[in-house]
């Protein structure tokens, strides 16, 4: 059972390390004296300040990715900390994104679980820590974000089950739910939404273009005051140093707002969520304002 001890190694594994939260976490860990094994997609360049990281180029959806990451961590001395920050968001209505659900689950839910499974022998040896980057949408699904929300809700379930399964091995599992973070994910989401609607039928464009744009605009307003990714990276460091890390951490105003929204009665919550993005117009209704 975990008795509040610190890990016996200083090797960290960080996924999604080429950009955003991942790169900020790598830099913070390196500055704190950790040896870092980091993943990035093939061809992605490393950002400044990560020259000492040991990179594994891999698409985390591939069959051999977990074994390759685990081998690199073992070569470095054995993982004592795993930070899962790789993620993808494919915004759009369920009607047009149903076939893309597998992609979001593969990256946001299955990949962290598969890599944790590959690292568990090392984490048992080092009495290590697992830190999974979740999202407020794991509590409340927002319009045009069903796949992302579902995949992050799945990550919550994995964290809860895993925590109970490995507690007697001295491994802790923490889930971070950040609010809006300045990572570039919003720009990527807008680009993907634009492609989706360009390829959609005329009927789908008429039905969804305006409410989807409205939803992304609302997200843009939230991201206008987004916190820097370094704040989340500092929280990761705090977890790495804590004697008894907490199961869940919320950071950022939006995270607390969504957590409060999740506690409301279902009817109230549904009404508020509907206001975050205009409801699709019924077929044949005029789009004139």
Find the mean pLDDT for residues 165-193: 90
Share of the chain above pLDDT 90, in %: 72
Instruction: Give the tens place of pLDDT for each residue, 125-161.
Output: 999 999 999 999 999 998 999 999 999 999 999 999 9
Residue carrying structure tokens 């009665």: 265
Task: Grade residue 285 by pLDDT with cuts at 50, 70 and 90.
Answer: very low
Domains observed in the chain? 11-275 (3.40.50.720)
What is the pLDDT, as a whole number, of residue 21?
Answer: 93
Higher pLDDT pick, 120 / 2: 120
What is the pLDDT, as a whole number, of residue 40?
Answer: 94
Confidence (pTM)? 0.89
Task: Grade residue 289 by pLDDT with cuts at 50, 70 and 90.
Answer: very low
Instruction: Give the tens place of pLDDT for each residue, 60-114.
Output: 999 999 999 999 999 999 999 999 999 999 999 999 999 999 999 999 999 999 9
């Amino acid at each position: 059972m975990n008795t509040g001890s610190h890990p016996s190694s200083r090797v960290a594994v960080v996924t999604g390390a080429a950009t955003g939260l991942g790169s900020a976490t790598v830099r913070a860990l390196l500055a704190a004296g950790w040896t870092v094994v980091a993943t990035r997609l093939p061809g992605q360049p490393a950002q400044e300040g990560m020259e000492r990281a040991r990179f594994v180029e891999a698409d985390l959806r591939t069959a051999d990715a977990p074994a390759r990451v685990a081998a690199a961590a073992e070569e470095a001395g054995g993982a004592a900390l795993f930070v899962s920050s790789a993620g993808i968001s494919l915004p759009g209505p369920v009607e047009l994104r149903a076939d893309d659900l597998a992609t979001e689950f593969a990256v946001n839910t299955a990949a962290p679980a598969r890599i944790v499974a590959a690292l568990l022998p090392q984490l048992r040896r080092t009495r290590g820590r697992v830190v999974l980057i979740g999202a407020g949408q794991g509590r409340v699904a927002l319009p045009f974000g069903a796949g992302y929300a579902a995949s992050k809700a799945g990550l919550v379930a994995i964290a809860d089950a895993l925590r109970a399964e490995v507690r007697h091995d001295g491994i802790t599992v923490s889930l971070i739910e950040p609010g809006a973070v300045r990572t570039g994910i919003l720009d990527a989401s807008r680009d993907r939404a634009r492609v989706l609607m360009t390829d959609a039928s005329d009927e789908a464009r008429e039905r969804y273009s305006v409410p989807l744009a409205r939803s992304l605009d609302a997200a843009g307003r939230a991201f206008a005051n987004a916190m820097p990714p370094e704040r989340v990276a500092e929280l990761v460091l705090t977890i790495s140093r804590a004697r008894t890390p907490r199961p869940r951490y919320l950071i950022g105003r939006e995270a607390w707002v969504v957590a409060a929204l999740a506690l409301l009665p279902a009817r109230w919550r549904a009404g508020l969520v509907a206001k975050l993005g205009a409801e699709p117009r019924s077929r044949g209704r005029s789009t004139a304002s």
